[in-house]
Amino acid sequence: MKQPVKPSDVSIRIGQQMTLTIRSLGINGEGIGYFKKKIVFVPGALPGEVVHAEITEVKDKYAAGRLLRVIERSQARTTPPCPVYESCGGCSLQHLDYQAQLLSKKELVVQSFQKYAGLQQPPVADTIGMDNPWGYRNKAQFQVGSKEGRLIAGLYQAGSHELVELQDCQIQHEATTAMVDAAKEVIEKLGIPIYDERKRKGIIRTIVARVAFATGETQLTLITATTEIPREKELILELRYRLPSLVSIVQNVNPQKTSLIFGDTTKVLWGKPTIAEKLGSLSFDLSARAFFQLNPEQTVKLYDQVKKAAGLTGTERVLDLYCGTGTIGLWLAPDAKEVRGIELIPEAVEDARRNAERNQISSASFHVGRAEVLMPKWAKEGIQADVVVVDPPRTGLEPALINALLQVKPQRIVYVSCNPSTLAKDVNRLLASYELQSVQPLDMFPHTPHVECIVLLTLRV
């Protein structure tokens, strides 16, 4: 009797060429095909296409290939408008029509729940997209380097140390592009040395440009390897002249040999230490290092979906876990009796408290600590949560926190996630006591494979 071929038995070698039918998209936007039941990832290939690929990597459970040519083309394939799309790596889905991107993100979420939560027909809604999926990023963070004797700024090519120049990034707000361009010209004109990572010499490492969508205020941050910037006064005057919307010029010092962008020391060179931004009726002061969502338009839609899932009537106590700077909790506070945020990072909690004070929201409080400790402690003291909102990092919920949720048993859990796989795994554990009511995907970052989800779980009766 002939034995079935196991994935590990399939012989694939590097350099081998093959024709594949692409079935779906992976979590990084790559096409997924199969060669004798072994999964093969092909970046640039789209579902429904037949492609010719060359194998570049072979592992036990999968192989990866380089797209050589498309034999049968998807109707959803489109020409990327970005001239450096192939080399940059910042986006990986510009070659896919936007409506098809939204469909593929929904399908990715469906597959995650099928695979990791054992739900064959999970209640996944259509992905909420953008009317105009361009120019949505409010912050540019570009490394600087030298090419043919001139200063360039951009991103490192994936898997390499090759700096790709971004002169006009289509997903960046036009104000951030103007700021980066002006900074490059002024730095070059004044002869301020750029940092050479190999020699560990020079001054300017990174240009960070941020715009407040609601107010139009802009902030430019220069990351330097030294505390002193030569011709600093001329630098400030030139930048102010070229960029009338600037209200803040900041220097951050990072002398370390590290992949981290920011160092520990930040000082204001000119103007205010913060820029003013709004989300709906909430207002925020953003310092150079303050976290803020990169796509304000979709953030409002995201928070509205959280509010819808929470189903608040004004009588509920809400716990906002992994609360960060408190934006979700403050968004919910007007419709809740009380909001309590929990966060491990003290600086974020301080920001959250300032944000509450700035917006005159007295019903929200923010606490430093571990949610799996504070939530059961409060429950024992009679402070029971009606609604718990969780917005964890990509790694998902800590097992101890899932256990605490199953112990405390709030009526509703609203889970905000940027990783469908860890989301589905965590939901699978919570199904011991909860019903999955809805899964709402939302596109925070068009033309990238990232998808945000808002999940509602209700306590079983």
Q: What is the CATH number of the domain that holds 369?
A: 3.40.50.150
362 and 445 in a common domain = yes
272 and 181 in a common domain = yes
Q: In this predicted model, what pLDDT tens digit does every residue of 228-277 receive, in sequence order?
A: 999 999 999 999 999 999 999 999 999 998 888 999 999 999 999 999 99
What pLDDT sits at residue 274?
92
CA 188 to chain centre: 32
What pLDDT sits at residue 5?
44
- CA–CA separation, 121 and 104 (whole Å): 16
What pLDDT sits at residue 10?
58
- Domain boundary among the residues 218, 252, 287 is at 287
- CA–CA separation, 49 and 56 (whole Å): 20
- Domain boundary among the residues 255, 287, 319 is at 287
71 and 162 in a common domain = no
What pLDDT sits at residue 259?
83
With CA atoms as reference, report the closest residue to 166 among 271, 89, 258, 255. 89
320 and 260 in a common domain = no
Token readout for 32 is: 């997924």
- CA–CA separation, 173 and 166 (whole Å): 13
Q: In this predicted model, what pLDDT tens digit does every residue of 138-179 receive, in sequence order?
A: 999 999 998 888 999 999 887 777 889 998 899 999 999 999
Which residue numbers in the chain have pLDDT < 50? Answer: 1-2, 5-9
372 and 443 in a common domain = yes
Beta strands in 254-393 (DSSP E): 265-271, 274-279, 282-287, 317-321, 338-343, 364-368, 387-390
User: Is 373 within a domain?
Assistant: yes
41 and 120 in a common domain = no
User: Is 231 within a domain?
Assistant: yes
User: Is 65 within a domain?
Assistant: yes
User: Is 423 within a domain?
Assistant: yes
- CA–CA separation, 86 and 157 (whole Å): 9
171 and 30 in a common domain = no
Is 101 in contact with 77 (CB distance < 8 Å)? no
338 and 254 in a common domain = no
Residues forming the active site: 418
CA distances from 392 to 106, 395, 401 (A): 20, 7, 11
User: Is 94 within a domain?
Assistant: no
Number of domains in the chain: 3
User: Is 99 within a domain?
Assistant: no
437 and 317 in a common domain = yes
In DSSP notation, 322-349 reads T-TTSHHHHHHGGGSSEEEEEES-HHHH
What pLDDT sits at residue 8?
47
User: Is 2 within a domain?
Assistant: no
Q: Give the CATH number of the domain where residue 244 resides.
A: 2.40.50.1070
443 and 302 in a common domain = yes
**CB neighbours of residue 271 within 10 Å:** 17
- Domain boundary among the residues 268, 287, 306 is at 287
Beta strands in 132-281 (DSSP E): 139-147, 150-156, 163-165, 204-211, 218-224, 246-253, 265-271, 274-279
Q: Give the CATH number of the domain where residue 34 resides.
A: 2.40.50.140
143 and 190 in a common domain = yes
Range of the domain at 183: 139-287
Share of the chain above pLDDT 70, in %: 98
Beta strands in 88-211 (DSSP E): 139-147, 150-156, 163-165, 204-211
Is 18 in contact with 52 (CB distance < 8 Å)? yes
What pLDDT sits at residue 7?
45
278 and 318 in a common domain = no
User: Is 259 within a domain?
Assistant: yes
